[in-house]
Amino acid sequence: MSDNGYKQIVILSGKGGTGKTTISAAFASFENDKVIVDCDVDAANMHLMLKPKSEKSHEFSGGKKAAINNEICIQCGLCETVCRFDAINDFKINHLKCEGCGFCFRVCPESAISFTPSIGGNYFECELEDDSKFFYAKLFPGQGNSGKLVSEIKKSAINSIKENSLQSSNKKIASINNPDVNGGKFIIVDGPPGIGCPVNASISKADFAILVTEPTLSGVHDLKRLVELLNTFKIRMGIIINKSDLNESVAEQIKDHATEKNIPLLGEIPFNTEFVKALIEGKNIVEVDESVKKDLLKIWEKTKSYIIN
């Protein structure tokens, strides 16, 4: 449990297309006292499902970009010579190639190159129909520092808990008198797929990670890489096998790996076309199929038992 009284759960997948975001949205619907964060800043899509009733946009500056003032430039060519990224040609800077290292800015003898913060995307602070907070972001095409943007929206989510004092005294009393009450806010983080920089940022200070996988060879391969990453950071985790009946032999491989690594199997979800229907309609799966809702609720309750203990 985090020092500030909330529990941060990150839902991850080694590869895209496993159903991670669908499951994240379902879990979020089971809790009233929560903040939701979509950390897939390169391809955010959770807002399409949650349909926030309001949102406030903020600009994100992931770094700096160089620009040449042609009125001052004497066209000596030194900047083009030192640029390792081939971002300068004919005394013009290609901002898609510029990595923001600032070398050209430092070597220019006439101070004709500026080096200023570049807006690399936007992040959004939203309010949902149940009055809970939801954060997501969009990184502009060709921009880097996706990990920094993930850290920015997670920081905003944590600050929203502090600023709004969402843990009321009544809830604190209820948690003391009723051991079944969670005793704190959940931050439910829908992480990006893979094991790259934004994933590392999304698991920072996580209390528990839920790994959503599928019984395919690529699913197993990428799951193992993700497990290795989380073990490096000593983050507790559990596994959900989605589309579990697509390939039973590969599903058994996942179970064997979970047993070998002492990772709890939180649940199995059979292939169900209702998931596709929900995506097409832009709905949460729990709004579409009652039986799936019951199954996911059981998995969520099992997950919470590991988080609390």
Per-residue confidence (pLDDT) for residue 63, from 0 to 100: 85
User: Are residues 98 and 86 in contact, defined by beta-carbon separation less than 8 angstroms?
Assistant: no
Per-residue confidence (pLDDT) for residue 164, from 0 to 100: 62
Per-residue confidence (pLDDT) for residue 144, from 0 to 100: 76
The fold adopted by the segment(s) 64-118 is Alpha-Beta Plaits (3.30.70)
Which residues contact residue 152 at a Cβ distance below 8 angstroms, ignoring those fewer than 6 apart? 60, 123, 137
Per-residue confidence (pLDDT) for residue 245, from 0 to 100: 94
The model's pTM: 0.85
User: Are residues 11 and 24 in contact, defined by beta-carbon separation less than 8 angstroms?
Assistant: yes
Q: DSSP string covering 193-243, please? A: ESSSHHHHHHTTT-SEEEEEE-SSHHHHHHHHHHHHHHHHTT--EEEEEET
Encode the chain (309 residues) as per-residue pLDDT tens digits. 454 578 999 999 999 889 999 999 999 999 988 999 999 999 999 999 999 998 899 999 888 889 999 999 999 999 999 999 999 999 999 988 888 899 999 999 999 999 999 888 999 999 999 889 999 999 988 777 789 999 999 999 988 887 765 444 445 444 434 434 343 489 999 999 999 999 999 999 999 999 999 999 999 999 999 999 999 999 999 999 999 999 999 999 999 999 999 999 999 999 999 999 998 998 999 999 999 999 999 999 999 988 876
User: Are residues 259 and 233 in contact, defined by beta-carbon separation less than 8 angstroms?
Assistant: no
* Neighbouring-strand partners of residue 187: 8, 35
Q: Whose CA is closest to 237, among 70, 12, 28?
A: 12
Domain positions in the chain = 7-51+128-308, 64-118
* CATH number of the structural domain 7-51+128-308: 3.40.50.300
